[in-house]
Chains A and B, each alone.
Chain A
Amino acid sequence: MEAQLNELKTQALDKIAAASNVKELNAVRVAYLGKKGPITDLLKGMGKLPAEERPKMGALVNVVREEVTARLEERMAILEEQAINEKLQSETIDITLPGRPVKSGNAHPLTRVIEEIEDLFISMGYEIEEGPEVEKDYYNFEALNLPKGHPARDMQDSFYISEDILLRTHTSPVQARTMEAKGGEPIKIICPGKVYRRDNDDATHSHQFTQIEGLVIGEDIRMSDLKGTLSVFAKKMFGEDREIRLRPSFFPFTEPSVEMDISCFKCGGEGCNVCKKTGWIEILGAGMVHPNVLEMAGYDSKRLTGFAFGMGPERIAMLKYGIEDIRHFYTNDVRFLSQFQRTEV
């Protein structure tokens, strides 16, 4: 019987070794260790043995069964891993195929520039004010020290709807309206919006464009405050290394009036095609609010002073992104618009 047992063991171990997959190995398990298998049979047949041999044989059978079981499990682990590996192998994908696209749009480049400027000034305590695009002559011109017949009205030929109503030529009327509404109180605002002028559309002109104006009114507002504020703006918008310079200029609603240049962000001031070899780029117009403008809105110009500035998001976007034709902003070519998807942080 012992010999029979050893024979069985050898057979079982051979079959275990020969099993090439989980299924075959399971068949071996059933065949040798199952309820109807030879080892169980042997245990059942032990009753026929003399009583004194039973413990020895019982122990022997158990040793064989344990060994077979152990080898089987060992083999099982190997075969299972092999099976998994085969499965994984067969499931390999071409990871270079494109991913499922996530649909995502983006803001118009002008919105992008305007919101960046809005956020910068909001962080400095400004509020955003807006006003109508179809405006009264009074707010667009007269309240800004541009009475009827003023020569500077030539500078901005306008679209009139009636003698007194026109498409606003700048966002400054929002300043006039806000001043009137605030009734002599201090002001700190930014006014973005669309404006219109009688220009033929070409690479550098557009009959419709956008503007952002800023206005600060308070006690003892000085020209140095204007310079400091614009300097912060220039550094945040165009880089920490930017320097600004002010040049005298003329706007009817400010006195003194200035134009602000920034040191060229492309060449750093050495001269290149962006700055037309001057090292400086003209960015915006500004000045101290003209006393007539303050008085007309009911402010005591002896007590309160202010500064104002105005800039063109188109120009800023064209400089920042190197856009050569202003018409791109209004054509809505998807190949243009979708370039403003990515961040610049």
Chain B
Amino acid sequence: MQPIARFSEAGIDRAAASRDCWPGGTLEAWQGTSAPLPARVWWPEDEEQVAAVLRAASEAGIPVVTAGAGSGVCGGARAIEGCWVLDTKAMARIGPLDPERWTVRVQAGVNGQQLEDWLAECGFTLGHSPSSIACSTVGGWAAARSAGQFSSRYGVFEDMVLGAVAVSPGGGVVRVGEGGEGSDADLAMLLGSEGTLAVITELELRVWPAPQRRWLRGYRMPDLPTAITAMRTLMQGDLHPSVVRLYDPVDTRIGGKTRPKREHSAGSSSFVRRWLRRVDELPAVHRRTLALPLALPGLLNRVFDGIASGCLLVVGWEGDEDVVGALSAEGARLLDALGEDLGAEPGERWFASRHAVSYKLMPIFERGGFADTMEVACRWSDLERTYDAVREAVSPTAVVMAHMSHVYPEGGSIYFSFAGRGDRKVYERTWDAALRAVLDSGATTTHHHGVGSLKARAASEEVGPAVAGWRAAKATMDPAGVLAPGRLFVDVAPHDPPASPPPAPEDGLGTGAVGADLEVRAEGGEPRWPVATLPGLPRWQRESWQQPWIGVEGLVGGRPCRLGRGPRSAAGPDLRPWLAEHGATTASWGIATHGERWMGEARVEHPMRVARDLLRADLRPAALGLRDGALVVGFRGPAAKRLAVLASDRVPGGLTEVPWRMLPVPDGPLEPCPDDDPAACHATASTAFRPVGRTA
């Protein structure tokens, strides 16, 4: 009989599927302990084969762990003893690309770098560039809600997903997203579900033409608070940088990041460096080089604190030539007032070696230590507190430093790197202390690495009673409970979230009752991207910067629940749409804090086609829509007037200035339509939409 899909029970295949890149597993392997072995590895090639494997597993009650490229760092793709590993990499078809709609279809097992190379040959980019791009799959990006280095320009991975095909044991093959069955909440439930609800087999993704221009600069900032102010001002000023990376004083100092490159190889320091490298190469010394510093992490952290001051901020813009010119000019003006311009070199250097960080942890393991990273996120007003709390918690067992590489108008993510010495127990103690500090400071425990098994307890505590949303989905999609049991969310003692202080002015957040209409909500400040009802437009009908909601709070089963601790969290699926319908009482949303505004309108023959062209030219207006048959375009922030000139040049007959007035964005349900449809009411880069049921 033909097997339902290709599989292997060979020792080398089972061993290779036993662990992912969770550093705890690497530490174990290095110290000679093996990981749990699967009984079988499957390589299905399409959704029918996936469905057959899942059916067989459900019938036999065999746990299934879905594995992409195994680059996950939280143990999500680590095998469970005796399980089946469903390896997605035989689902490797790339294309077709739709150069008109700017979309590409791709099977889940495709390697990220290979997709990017293929798109580059066609003149496009996905714009998703995690450090692990060479060693991860698109399915893994979707399942673990990855974020790439240009997230403030192209969005995080789920912003790129227009639709998905997924297979669950309970539901069979489903198509969600644009043109598929199911709602935005279904797509939201799938993205970030880390193989616990379904196997993602195919994705439709938004792509962009390769950027015409890239502008990169480094700035030396006197201290962390000033650097944070700089980042916040850029993001709240609607300047849409592609890259914003801040290295903390320790990282800046250790990496010598604000010194010009040539000093690295100059005279004595290069001699010392060469000499040290030679000493390090002696076998007996090699393993001990880091032993002393890593054995005294508390002391080392204090020494670093003493010598470190000043930090490096790398900022960049990319995309349309003219738009990059306008935005970078305003951005540079703003940054010059706060820090010292170090020129293009630090930025170019970062860009050239942007994936090099992936190679930095190996030497620490080779020398008998452990190293790991933790990426948390919170509002601007919580950043410094969270940073201090985590450093203090980790300090007794590991040397710690941090950078920030994902920022939003409402806050950002802190990426901690830590290295210590000791066995699994010391490693676990370090993590427990770190996660406790994050939870207590009100931040989210993961910005983009996901949960896996490493953070399952912490994420369950963070999500609290909203976990019921995921459980309900699990009961229908995986009734036999075979998909990744014990991963993502687990039973934990009820733990109410820490009291949520009202947002500080710098957070740029408005709060109010769920259900309040737009006018009422606007009393606290103009919403950055207005929608009338929660959860707002589905993802495939808006662009990455059009974030309707940040936080949603309420009561679930009588227990308080708070989602959206940071501007973005990868603690499982985005459960805010679920909470919106199951007990949400209050919500928070971004409000426009910057005073400068410009609005213009034009009566053109094909308003939606023009609107789409503006979006495609990277203009990212704060307001874009139809009012009384006229196309309305508005910009906010210091670059508003410059962008208005560029926009006007692209509108037939130009834009005529009108008084600024908030433009409500229509609520769903909408359906895609040709972009010259006169009834169209909303445009994205890939298509125009009209309210369902209305005809042209």
Q: Do A and B interact?
A: no
Interface residues of A (CB under 8 A from B): none
